[in-house]
Copies of this chain bind each other. A is one copy, B any other.
Amino acid sequence: MNSLYRSHMCSELNESNIGEKVKLCGWVQKWRDLGGVIFIDLRDRSGIIQIVFDESTDSDACKIASTLRNEYVIQVEGNVIRRSVETVNDNIATGIIEVKCESVNLLDQAQNPPIYIDDADTSKESIRLKYRYLDLRKPSMQRNLIIRHKVAGFIRNYLDENGFIDVETPMLTKPTPEGARDFLVPSRVQKGNFFALPQSPQLYKQILMVSGLDRYYQIVKCFRDEDLRQDRQPEFTQIDIEMSFVDQDDIIKINEEMITKLFKKIKNVDIPLPIPRMPYKEAMERFGSDKPDIRFGLELVDIKNVFKDSGFKVFADSIASGGDIRAINAKGCGESLSRREIDALVDYVKIYKAKGLAWLKVTDTGVKSPIDKFLNDEEVSGLLLATNAEPGDLILIVADKPDIVFDALGHLRLELANKLDIKYKNEYEFLWVTDFPLFEYSDEEKRYMAKHHPFTSPNDEDIELMDTDPGSVRAKAYDLVVNGVEIGGGSIRIHNKELQEKMFEALGFTKESAWEQFGFLLEAFKYGTPPHGGVAYGLDRIMMLLLDLDNIKEVIAFPKTQNHGCLMTNAPGPAEESRLRELGLELQEE
């Protein structure tokens, strides 16, 4: 990376350069004037090196050096020398050498920066985002961007080698009411009409399969106009993959090889292949989640049978109204958790709409619980047997509608693992969750909705259930879950026009509305479509996992805040009146 300005990057220099004359450029990270000798830490992307200015030998350079301050940009020329033994700095890669500066050139001055250019900086997020250009000078932020670059590069190379073609799909696409909320882009040329920014290139990649492109990928921006949570951004990056003439096993195989090789490269961890697979139903029943963290146990236990004739009103009512009763055995927590901590767990499950959390401490002499008086001996021994309980354990029970039981206990499980600070055997536990339901019923919309999207294929043996029992139809859909985080998912797609039309019908579309919105896909399916399927990964999520970060803003150069704003540029901003007129739009009166 040398240029007319420099011969080396700062951190490229080492013992072998001793005696060489070098030219370096960078920022002043630190300076100390020891009277007659000035030391400067010079920083560039590669790292830091110490520059020494000696008044006795290079007085001109030293004079300029005395005017330097933090973050000034300079070019120095000098000789690489060995540091005296007592001044060696083991904290930096170049710590045994320094550059004795003969001439220095001030390239730009700097005001005192409003944030501390160091990983130890504690500025609040809004300041960091406003001065993002300074925040991105921190070694950790540069590392995050550089590793992101390496990850994207690795994925591209892997897919290139496996015959995938990177094809760019449009950013200006057609709005569809199905799915999440689109960002709209008003058309000037077709006034009154709108483009949508893509939520994913789903239909384009399927069209490319109809086109015979065979294997497609793209690392591409996607957009959802939704209210933000900590791990969401209005624009996010998707690794988008589609393949023809494949079955679910083919897709899983090539993808698990790619992702485990990526983790090997970036984190040097060996993930054994094949990655285990677990049907959705099992994931829910054992872990209360469709993205289970399998680094630890604390599994759910079905104890409905134990309490099928219970005199305890809460359990009896729950069973009578079609509910479930499930428990988690929090091993050892009967002793380690205080009453106050247990009460906190009771409050915790309420976040997930559980009406309550029953608990029993298992002791040498039986169980202690606010509800023990409602349970008979047979029930207690049945419970202990089912949950494999021993003295010292704490049994936690939720009785409620089935999806509330799963959700509350699934989250309680994660909360317990946090609390108990469990040591995991492996840093990363990967899992494919398979056989998702094709539909999920929306109480709000009073209809079945696609669990993944309307282009997902049902399992062959379940197709006939689409008419009789839609809720039980399983899909050829799969998610890749790592440590309880879904990093990607996909499906085998419907590739048959009649089945696709049946699917739209099941989702409540009329034939007309299906053709109006997705007519080009149905039309395409008339002319010979290969069986195909694919996957999409969230690159931002993968980065958070690889970098052990829980804030998505740390892995994106210029992220948006919760109100969709950019604190650096102040986007979004007002539009000129004349531009709106050109678009045929006006702002609504308040």
Contacts and interface: CB of A to CB of B under 8 A. Distances in A.
A558 interface: yes
Interface string A117-158: 000000000000001111011000010011011001100100
A389 interface: no
A109 B572 contact: no
B113 A527 contact: yes
B245 A556 contact: no
Interface in A46-79: 71-73, 75
B247 A5 contact: yes
Interface in A147-187: 148-149, 152-153, 156, 160, 162-163, 165-175, 177, 181-187
Contact of A133 (B27, B195, B210, B250): B210
Interface string A187-210: 111101111110000011001101
Given A111-B526, A569-B520, A574-B193, A212 B171 contact: no
Contacts of A331: none
A405 B214 CA distance: 53
A19 interface: no
Contacts of A5: 245-247, 250, 531
A574 B194 contact: yes
A573 B166 CA distance: 27
A497 to B, nearest CB: 9
Interface residues of A, number: 127
B495 A108 contact: yes
A184 B174 CA distance: 16
A506 B3 CA distance: 32
A560 B170 CA distance: 9
B153 A166 contact: yes
A503 to B, nearest CB: 16
A128 B234 CA distance: 34
B225 A73 contact: no
Interface in A221-254: 221, 223, 225, 227, 234-235, 237, 243-247, 249-250
Interface stretch (A96-104, A396-404, A433-441, A582-590): A582-590
Contacts of A153: 156, 160, 166
Nearest to A173: B571
Contact of A529 (B73, B163, B247, B571): B73
A225 B188 contact: yes
A311 interface: no
Nearest to A160: B153
A318 interface: no
Contact of A174 (B136, B175, B570): B570
Nearest to A72: B528
A450 interface: no
Nearest to A137: B212
A211 B249 contact: no
B107 A1 contact: no
Contacts of A571: 170, 172-175, 195-196
Contacts of A213: 45, 136, 142, 145
A34 interface: no
Contacts of A563: 189-190
A214 B588 contact: no
A279 to B, nearest CB: 20
A496 interface: yes
B190 A165 contact: no
Interface of A: 1, 3-6, 25-28, 43-45, 71-73, 75, 107-111, 113, 131-134, 136-137, 142, 145-146, 148-149, 152-153, 156, 160, 162-163, 165-175, 177, 181-190, 192-197, 203-204, 207-208, 210-215, 221, 223, 225, 227, 234-235, 237, 243-247, 249-250, 495-496, 520, 524, 526-531, 556-558, 560, 563-566, 568-576, 579, 581-588
Given A71-B527, A142-B213, A149-B165, 9 more contacts: A5-B531, A108-B528, A108-B529, A133-B211, A174-B569, A175-B575, A184-B186, A194-B573, A585-B585
